[in-house]
Amino acid sequence: MYHNILVPISFDADRDVTAPMKLAKILATPEAKITLLHVVEHIPDYAISYMPVEYLTEARRAIQTELDEMAAKLPNAKAEVIEGHSGRSILDWAEANKPDLIIIASHRPGMQDIFLGSTATHVVRHARCAVHVVR
């Protein structure tokens, strides 16, 4: 049983966000803290100039609202949205907040990433705590 669980959430169409949440609920102690984390990737400067000014603010607000609704379904859960490169940012967050388990979803792999997605691969290889990959 785990006391501090990090569940990175990706809203990609090929990811099942419910499976990691179910597993977190099963593996958590009754007093465990669960964090649902979404990383907003940086948009290149050349692309951002073609987007409405309020796009990033509205997108972040919508993501936070959806994560908050998901967190409300788990005991002692909170939602957090951060910015950066997903693999590196998940590990940076984990280093600062010391979870004892990361539960990360991985898409069905293609030839370019034979077994795991690139974010899941990066987290598995470099995390300092247990990592459970869910498909």
pLDDT in the model for residue 109: 57
- Nearest CA to 80 out of 24, 20, 37 is that of 37
Q: Range with the lowest mean pLDDT among 41-50, 84-93, 121-130? A: 41-50
Residue 29 pLDDT level (bands cut at 50, 70, 90): very high
- Nearest CA to 21 out of 72, 60, 61 is that of 72
In the predicted structure, residue 23 carries a pLDDT above the cut 70: yes
Token digits for 52?
A: 């409405």
pLDDT in the model for residue 51: 87
Token digits for 11?
A: 């809203």
pLDDT, one tens digit per residue, over 43-82 is 888 888 888 889 889 999 999 999 999 999 999 999 999 9
Asked if 9 and 17 touch (Cβ cutoff 8 Å), the reply is yes
Domains of the chain with bracketed CATH? 2-134 (3.40.50.620)
pLDDT in the model for residue 110: 54
Token digits for 28?
A: 């958590």
In degrees and rounded to multiples of 5, residue 111 shows phi and psi of -65, -30
